[in-house]
Amino acid sequence: AAAAAALRPAFAEEKFVAKRATDASQLVGSGGLSSYNELKLKSALKELAEAPVSTDIKPSVDIISTVLPLITQNQVPDSAKISKATDAISNLVLTDDLQTQAASLVKQSASIRAGISKSDANAAAIAATALADQLTDFCYNYEGATKPLAELRKGSPDVYDKDRKRIDLPVSGKSL
């Protein structure tokens, strides 16, 4: 124990107090971005790209849709741009329903900032997915359009026939 106290610590020989092992522009907290959250964010951004966008909100939507994909690459997006874009949407003259949705967008942008400040890629991706989903819904509601539903059974046969004479149970393979 006395010999260990006589040795100079290795960090005392260093000229700098702290060193970074990785670039500060990467989100590396909590083990990085999970593939599930990456997939969810990519699909939410794809839906956002397909949403109808009015000219009033197009600049804000464009900013958000170009900044959020950085999270899928473990890059740090500019959270100030996201906040300004959501603030611009909330400052529009909107109906009560749209104003509530715009306030929720602002809240989600704050969640993204919190995930970024913790360097937690998963938290930022979850918040970004929620923001993209809510922004997609906002775009459809702002345009007065109906959001298309996803097809549930692509290429699979109906569970029962249209005349209701027979019901096929796909799990057991039985027919009634």
Rounded distance between C-alpha atoms, residue 156 and residue 48, angstroms: 28
Rounded distance between C-alpha atoms, residue 176 and residue 168, angstroms: 7
Do the beta carbons of residue 37 and residue 68 sit within 8 Å?
no
Rounded distance between C-alpha atoms, residue 148 and residue 72, angstroms: 25
Rounded to two decimals, what is the model's pTM? 0.69
Q: Give domain limits for the chain.
A: 2-146
- Ranges 54-58, 99-103, 108-112, 153-157: which has the least confidence: 153-157
Helices and strands in the chain: count of H runs, count of E runs: 7, 2
Distances (CA, A) of 144 to 25, 51, 80, 111, 148: 39, 12, 29, 28, 13
- Ranges 20-29, 123-132, 135-144: which has the least confidence: 20-29
- Tokens matching residue 166: 């027979």
Do the beta carbons of residue 27 and residue 116 sit within 8 Å?
yes
Q: How many residues does the chain have?
A: 176
Tens-digit pLDDT profile for residues 121-133: 888 999 999 999 9
